[in-house]
């Protein structure tokens, strides 16, 4: 029998209501368009219902409102199909890491502390005084600087640099080529020259953070740059010195946060958002893509644009921008009429 899971087991895994053949064997996951027999897929919105008739999936994860109008399909019905599908993917296609063991081609300073059941691959360099927790996975080329700390169950992918004194929490994931603890961009200008300000602080990455590829998080000038628990950072993000990001926030690709800015809890910075230095964004804000935060945001809500506006107001402004040529023509016509009246 092919490897896989029965549909009943997957429904129980996500706490969903099963509609269809509970014995159906599920061996893979796929999108609605690409799914074939043996695959499970999902639909999160009514707009995608058109694919239901043509999908080759053996089962579909759907919301109750979609399930009402679907017949002849094996369904798992849940309130949040996307989240349920993510759990199913993790169950069917779990992420695997190298087995525990330390490569003889890794360099570990004798003063470093290494936990149990770690996986340390060839080319890893662990400096003096560093602490690596239990069940940590360090892929090839990882650099751990002097006195840096890595918490239990953390996974650090290839060519990541964790600079000296940085502290990484538990269950953190850091993807390839990111740098944690690089010098903050601090200079004093005098006499036409730029003099470097020593960057003697550190970085603290709290538990359950995920950091994408090619992310840079600068060490503080003095004190700490802090990434709060549960925050997720996409690829190609720059976090400057002394920034503090709260818990369970989202920072999307190519966003940049300047020095000493404070980002609250559950904040989303969409792609290419810029945040100027020394500003604050309160909890529960969403900043739309390509926006610039040039003054502090004190009230929760959704904001977009430059200058930054409440999102609904920005949408109205964009509608007006599209009508500017007609508005200009109308104003010119009114000016001409007014001039003719004044000449009478």
* 175 part of the active site: no
Measured at the CA of 277, the angle between CA 231 and CA 238, to 5 degrees, comes to 45
> Which residues lie below 8 Å from residue 285, measured CB to CB, with a gap of 6+?
264, 267, 268, 297, 300, 301, 302, 303
Residue 178 CB burial class (10 angstroms; 0-12, 13-18, ≥19): buried
Residue 325 CB burial class (10 angstroms; 0-12, 13-18, ≥19): exposed
Residue 135 CB: number of other CB atoms within 10 A?
Answer: 17
Phi/psi-derived region of residue 129, left when phi > 0, alpha when psi is between -120 and 50, beta in every other case: left
Q: Which of 195, 241, 278, 311 is catalytic?
A: 241
Q: Considering only CA atoms, which of 61, 58, 46, 57 is closest in space to residue 13?
A: 61
User: What is the rounded CA–CA span in Å between residue 268 and residue 251?
Assistant: 6
Yes or no: say if 188 and 154 are a contact pair by the CB < 8 Å rule. Answer: no
User: What is the rounded CA–CA span in Å between residue 290 and residue 307?
Assistant: 11
User: What is the rounded CA–CA span in Å between residue 20 and residue 18?
Assistant: 6
Phi/psi-derived region of residue 189, left when phi > 0, alpha when psi is between -120 and 50, beta in every other case: beta
Sign of CA dihedral 109, 112, 115, 118: negative
User: What is the rounded CA–CA span in Å between residue 48 and residue 38?
Assistant: 21
The per-type count for the chain, helices as H runs and strands as E runs, is 5, 40
Residue 312 CB burial class (10 angstroms; 0-12, 13-18, ≥19): exposed
Q: Could you say which DSSP state residue 211 is in? A: E
Yes or no: say if 84 and 103 are a contact pair by the CB < 8 Å rule. Answer: no
**Residues catalogued as catalytic:** 241
């Amino acid at each position: 029998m092919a490897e896989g899971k029965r549909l009943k087991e997957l429904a129980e895994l996500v706490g969903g209501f099963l509609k269809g053949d509970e014995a159906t064997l599920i061996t893979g996951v796929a999108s609605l368009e690409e799914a074939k027999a043996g695959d499970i897929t999902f639909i999160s919105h009514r707009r995608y219902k058109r694919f239901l008739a043509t999908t080759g999936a053996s089962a579909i994860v759907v919301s109750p409102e979609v399930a009402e109008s679907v017949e002849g399909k094996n369904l798992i019905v849940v309130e949040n199909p996307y989240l349920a599908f993510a759990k199913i993917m993790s169950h069917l296609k779990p992420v695997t890491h190298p087995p525990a063991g330390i490569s003889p081609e890794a360099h570990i300073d004798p003063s470093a502390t290494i936990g149990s059941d770690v996986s340390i691959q060839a080319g890893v360099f662990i400096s003096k005084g560093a602490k690596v927790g239990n069940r940590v996975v360090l892929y090839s080329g990882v650099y751990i600087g002097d006195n840096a700390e890595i918490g239990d169950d953390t996974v650090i992918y290839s060519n990541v640099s964790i600079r000296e004194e940085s502290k990484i929490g538990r269950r953190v994931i850091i993807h390839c080529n990111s740098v944690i603890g690089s010098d903050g961009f601090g200079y004093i200008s005098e006499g036409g020259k730029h003099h470097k300000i020593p960057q003697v602080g550190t970085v603290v990455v709290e538990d359950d953070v995920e950091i994408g590829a090619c992310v840079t998080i600068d060490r503080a000038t003095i004190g700490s740059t802090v990434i709060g628990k549960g925050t997720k950072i996409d690829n190609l993000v720059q976090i400057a010195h002394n920034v503090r990001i709260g818990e369970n926030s989202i920072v999307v690709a190519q966003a940049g946060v300047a020095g000493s800015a404070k980002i609250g809890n559950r904040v989303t910075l969409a792609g290419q958002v810029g945040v100027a230095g020394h500003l604050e964004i309160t909890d529960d804000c969403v900043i739309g893509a390509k926006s610039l935060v040039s003054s502090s945001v004190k009230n929760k809500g959704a904001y977009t644009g430059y200058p930054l506006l409440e999102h609904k107001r920005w949408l109205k402004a964009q509608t007006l921008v599209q009508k500017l040529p007609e508005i200009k023509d109308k104003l010119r016509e009114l000016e001409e009429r007014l001039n003719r009246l004044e000449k009478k």
